Chain A
Amino acid sequence: NAGVTQTPKFQVLKTGQSMTLQCAQDMNHNSMYWYRQDPGMGLRLIYYSASEGTTDKGEVPNGYNVSRLNKREFSLRLESAAPSQTSVYFCASIRSGTPKETQYFGPGTRLLVL
């Protein structure tokens, strides 16, 4: 049982390049989330997927797209990376009906946009 896994662990991009951050969970959870963490700020919600086939915007969705590929996988895409998207990205998942604070978090992807 690996929990929540994220790939890659670290990535460097040039401005304007695109990339997809991958997230997978093996706990049969319904809901999945993408957060970003910036220095001096807490985690902020980018997008979430309450269940397979649905996605919704969080606090800071601009510049991102998501895909809930199946129940296990929830990817985050940057179509044209900008330096302002330099951050640490966390994926999380939770079983529906359980308190939100018990989300399981992945180890994070550190992204640097030059």
Chain B
Amino acid sequence: GDSVTQMEGPVTLSEEAFLTINCTYTATGYPSLFWYVQYPGEGLQLLLKATKADDKGSNKGFEATYRKETTSFHLEKGSVQVSDSAVYFCALREAGGTSYGKLTFGQGTILTVHP
């Protein structure tokens, strides 16, 4: 079945450092890919998405590119802020031409940014 693997955390960075959180997936066909963020005490929120190969999703300074050849969707940000401290989840929705397909989540990566 489909699966998503994220880099082990926690990740600790200083403010203004470059961030990469790796995400790779296993799926049949061409799934849609997502990054969610969970701030302390809140529910998950959709951060960005990409629905086909070579698409780049971006939001709030974060970017991720759908790489079919490496089955990856790594999250990057050029300069992190303390307010980016959160848990980040990579996820995919199975292919098949429907918006209602099953969501598969990675295990989450805790990011802590120090001033």
A residues contacting B by CB (< 8 A) are 3-4, 37, 39-45, 90, 92, 97-108
Docked CA distance A105–B46 (Å): 10
Majority secondary structure, B binding face: strand
B46/A101 in contact, CB under 8 A: yes
Size bin of chain B's contact surface: 20 to 34
In contact, A105 and B89 (Cβ under 8 angstroms): no
Cβ B4 vs Cβ A42 within 8 A: yes
Chain B: which residue is nearest A106 at the CB level?
B43
Q: Inside 8 A of B106's CB, which chain A residues have their CB?
A: 42
Q: State the CA gap A40–B107 with chains docked (Å).
A: 5
Select one of A40, A45, A105, A108 contacting B45, CB under 8 A. A105
Tell me, in angstroms, the Cα distance from A39 to B87 when the chains sit together: 13
**Are A100 and B44 in contact, CB atoms less than 8 angstroms apart?**
no
| 23 A–B pairs (Cβ distance < 8 Å), ordered by A | A39-B107, A41-B107, A42-B4, A42-B89, A42-B91, A42-B104, A42-B108, A43-B103, A43-B105, A90-B43, A92-B44, A99-B93, A100-B93, A100-B101, A101-B32, A101-B49, A101-B91, A102-B46, A105-B38, A105-B43, A105-B44, A107-B41, A107-B42
